[in-house]
Amino acid sequence: MAAEHLTRDADIAPVAALIADPTRAAMLNALLDGRALAAGELARLAGVSAATASSHLAKLLEGRLVEVVSQGRHRYYRLAGHDVAEVLEVLARVSARPAVRSLRQSRQARLLEEARTCYDHLAGRAGVALLDRLRADGHLDGGELTAAGERALKLIGVDVDAVRKARRRFAPDCLDWTERRAHLGGALGAALTEALFERGWIARGSIPRAVTVTEEGRRELFHGKELTSHTPVTQHP
């Protein structure tokens, strides 16, 4: 008996099938750091040939999960938007963690847990601690910036007025898939993360998505403390 669907039902099966393939899933995960990558780099990260990668990328393009950025004769691929990134992050939260079978994998897992990008905003222990800091300092209250928070973020280069006009949620909690606590997402999370990169308080790490909190960033953001899963955040006097 054929299944009946309401006219307003979303047809999620084709999108789910695209993500379900291990090679395509690996490519999508590689693009979760927000940068555009060449097909050859995605092939290497997914462990497949260039021809196989091209075939999978064509399907992801057709399914509108990725888009192409052209620079001269070169073509680069990136996620089609923050909505796609949010879907991948939700799937990561409900999925089992892969077994760690080598020292290299253990190191990579540790780096991603410490600090990483969740598409375009800061995640991991650093992202969770940053949200804690914003709340403890009275800069963020119930998903809205306070007057003090707006002044503080403008001082470090966040264009709050432009963020308010963005066509996405302003400052939602984003449940961190390693910490199981919230980090700052949305338009504000993206703009703040961009500002932290520009100031040199965080820097791209040695593996995709990994982020390093610099000494200056640790001092300015976390009072110089080492980040743990329960980093205490001291409110300024």
Convert the pLDDT of each residue in 17-74 to its tens digit. Answer: 999 999 999 999 989 888 899 999 999 999 999 999 999 999 999 999 999 999 888 9
Q: Which single residue is written with the structure tokens 């691929």?
A: 77
- CA neighbor of 199 nearest in space, from 215, 183, 184, 210: 215
- In the chain, where does the domain assigned CATH 1.10.10.10 lie? 13-87
pLDDT at 11: 80
Convert the pLDDT of each residue in 68-103 to its tens digit. Answer: 999 888 999 999 988 898 898 888 888 777 777 788
To the nearest 10°, report the CA torsion of 57, 62, 67, 68: 70
pLDDT at 2: 55
Convert the pLDDT of each residue in 173-232 to its tens digit. Answer: 998 888 889 999 999 999 999 999 999 999 998 888 899 999 999 999 987 666 555 444
Fold category of 13-87 in CATH: Arc Repressor Mutant, subunit A (1.10.10)
Alpha helices in the chain (DSSP H): 13-20, 22-30, 39-46, 50-62, 82-94, 103-114, 124-136, 147-155, 160-165, 186-199, 215-222
pTM for this entry: 0.77
pLDDT at 93: 80
